[in-house]
Amino acid sequence: MSPIETPLWPDNPTAQDLLGFADIAEPIQDALLRERLDPVAVGIFGDWGSGKSTVLEILRQRLTERGRVVVVYTRPWEYDPNIDPKATLIAEVLTAVRTEVAKDESRMAQLADRFRGLVARVQWSKAVTLVANSALTLNIPKIADVAGIFGDGDDGLADPTLQGFREEFDELMKELEEIDRVVVLVDDLDRCLPDTVVAALEAIKLFLSVRKMGFVIAADRRLVTLAITTRYAQSAQGALMAREYLEKIVQIPISVPTLGLADTEAYLAMMLLDRHLNDDTLSALAAHCDARRRAGEARTLDDLPEGLVPSDAADDLQLAGVLAPVLFRRLSGNPRRLKRFLNAYWLRSAIAQQRSAALQPAALAKLLVLEELEPDAFSQLIAWLGDGELSVKLTDLEDPKRDSGDPTLREWAATPPALASEDLEPYLRLAASLRSLAAPGSGLRSDLRVLLNDLKADAQNTRKSARKRMNALSGEDRVLVARELTELVRTEPDSRDRVAEALEELMADRPAGEEILRRFEELDPAAVTPGLVVRLTRDGPLRSEAMALLGRWRDSERLGEVAGAAVDQLIDADGALG
């Protein structure tokens, strides 16, 4: 069995715009570079996973490509907890400006003392926090001693603290004619503890009277407000003060829109098609969706240019259409949740193929929607399987003329594809085990369950008697038993050779034998024993089909050494007789 390609998408933001968020980034960029808005702070607000970081990445790329703009991308969530967050953010800004100036050595020489003084203030603040947090001393040490932790301490400053930093930095920015704007992109602020949130905002506030400064804060407004409220918890007006505090810092608030149904389908399609397309083609597809979105078209994926999506990707495009309505309703158009669902889908698909429990993509996706989003309803499917009622229950749920049953399951069952006639048992057993749910019963009638246990019993006489009872069953029941026996070959290695005795006799019956061969097509050849090889190919109506299956097992190169030798011997002998 060849390795299964499992396309997975990282949870990192990207500048590749698959969401159509360039339309949001464009006015933000315009605001940041406008001379009349100096300084300026923009807030990009949205829920977790809504695409805020993607907007920041687009901004970073566009602003970096412009001349005379210094871009600082910072994540307070990653700051060293032992060091003052305010000083850390200020240091990042100062370092970026100094790096830009240092591109001109003579210019840097002229301003070296100015930078040295500013750096000393930041170093002192960092050092004091580090010493205080490490509990090395109960008293704040002397300025000169502490500054030596981060620098040489020989700055000639009477007071190298952050007091006065703003005025000095403002004077420096006046002189830096080579820099038009310093833009600080602040991400993941809503992941921080309250103290870090407030400290980072205090640092931003420090810069908000300094010319040429621009800030973009991407966060969940509710979480940031809650963090500020925690700081003001002593006050009865804490929540109001928190909102006002944020409003005083953020002059231009922008909300990231949730994806509509058409955009959800387009995003899913581009994620699914990623494995078929190179970056240029994927960008062309995104551009097509953008053009239709800007033209006010309801469906952004319609009228695709001929040849843009290869023919072998048609199933993935169709799958996006099947998934979009359900995921749009249940995941509220959240890009990160959509991405995580697709990652879960591909991993489950790979596992199902390896465990011989594969389903058609749309069927698997439909089941995974229920499993991930409605676990209680999914557990009901498992229970129905154990009671042998799954097919009947699904038929009732899928019947539009009926109006009974759990509304959640009925709504789910109404989405395509229909599953009542599908063999879901192998997959549901796998899903139950992966979710640590109790494994369902076989779904067989009690008499057939007893027969199944006897067919795999240790005692030879018990197995022989059971095979007589098996051969007396109706054709439909023999097919059911054949299905369960092939499942035992996969799940119970110790009983494989005993089960093979019954399989040999069932191969003489065409419907039961066809069921065996059909299910063995999905069996991992590594599970095949020499005894099974021999018994499958005894003379009967399906011997040629069984021999063809052996050939495919051999070609897979997954057979064990002894089983492989048995297959080679049978195929060679069959060729000689032919």
Question: Is 80 exceeded by the pLDDT of residue 408?
Answer: yes
Report the Cα–Cα distance between both ends of the chain, in Å, rounded.
29
- Name the residue with tokens 């099947």: 322
For the ranges 111-125, 297-311, 316-330, 436-450, the lowest mean pLDDT is seen at: 436-450
Report domain extents, the chain.
39-255, 261-434, 446-577
Q: In this predicted model, which residue has the larger pLDDT, 444 or 25?
A: 25
* Mean pLDDT value across residues 383-392: 84
Give the DSSP H or E segment for 43: strand 40-45
Both tokens assigned to 77 = 């969530």
Both tokens assigned to 389 = 């009622």
- Per-residue pLDDT at 510: 92
Whole-angstrom Cα distance, residue 23 to residue 190? 24
Whole-angstrom Cα distance, residue 464 to residue 107? 96
Whole-angstrom Cα distance, residue 413 to residue 119? 64
Question: How far, in Å, are 320, 351, 435, 566 from residue 272 at the CA level?
Answer: 7, 18, 25, 42
For the ranges 98-112, 151-165, 260-274, the lowest mean pLDDT is seen at: 151-165
Q: Each residue of 358-373: pLDDT tens digit?
A: 888 889 999 999 999 8
Whole-angstrom Cα distance, residue 84 to residue 131? 11
For the ranges 280-294, 405-419, 429-443, 478-492, the lowest mean pLDDT is seen at: 429-443
| Per-position DSSP letters for 66-123, written without gaps between them | STTEEEEEE-GGGS-TTS-HHHHHHHHHHHHHHHHHTTSHHHHHHHHHHHHHHHHHHH
In sequence order, the β-bridge partners of residue 71 are 183
- Per-residue pLDDT at 444: 65
φ and ψ of 45, to 5 deg: -110, 140
Under CATH, which number does the domain 39-255 receive? 3.40.50
Mean pLDDT, the chain, integer:
84
Question: Is 60 exceeded by the pLDDT of residue 167?
Answer: yes
Q: Does residue 505 contact residue 469 with C-beta atoms inside 8 Å?
A: no
State the pLDDT confidence band at 95, using cuts at 50, 70 and 90.
very high
Whole-angstrom Cα distance, residue 183 to residue 33? 9
- Name the residue with tokens 């027969």: 451
Question: How far, in Å, are 425, 496, 498, 513, 515 from residue 455 at the CA level?
Answer: 21, 11, 7, 17, 18
Question: Is 80 exceeded by the pLDDT of residue 144?
Answer: no
- Per-residue pLDDT at 493: 81
Whole-angstrom Cα distance, residue 377 to residue 439? 16
- Per-residue pLDDT at 577: 45
Kindly tell me the burial class for residue 259, based on how many C-beta atoms sit within 10 Å of its own C-beta (0-12, 13-18, 19 or more).
Answer: buried
Q: 375-386 and 361-373 are packed helices; what angle lies between their axes, rounded to 10 degrees? A: 120
- Residues 99-134 as b/e (b if ≥16 CB within 10 A, e otherwise) read ebbeeeeeeeeebeebbbbbbbbbbbbbbbbbbeee
User: Which of 519, 496, 494, 516 minimizes the C-alpha distance to 505?
Assistant: 516
Task: Count the helix, strand and coil residues of the chain and give each as a percent rounded to the nearest 5.
Answer: 65, 5, 30
φ and ψ of 41, to 5 deg: -130, 125
Q: Does residue 513 contact residue 503 with C-beta atoms inside 8 Å?
A: no
* Mean pLDDT value across residues 130-138: 54
Contacts of 414 (CB under 8 A, 6+ apart): 398, 400
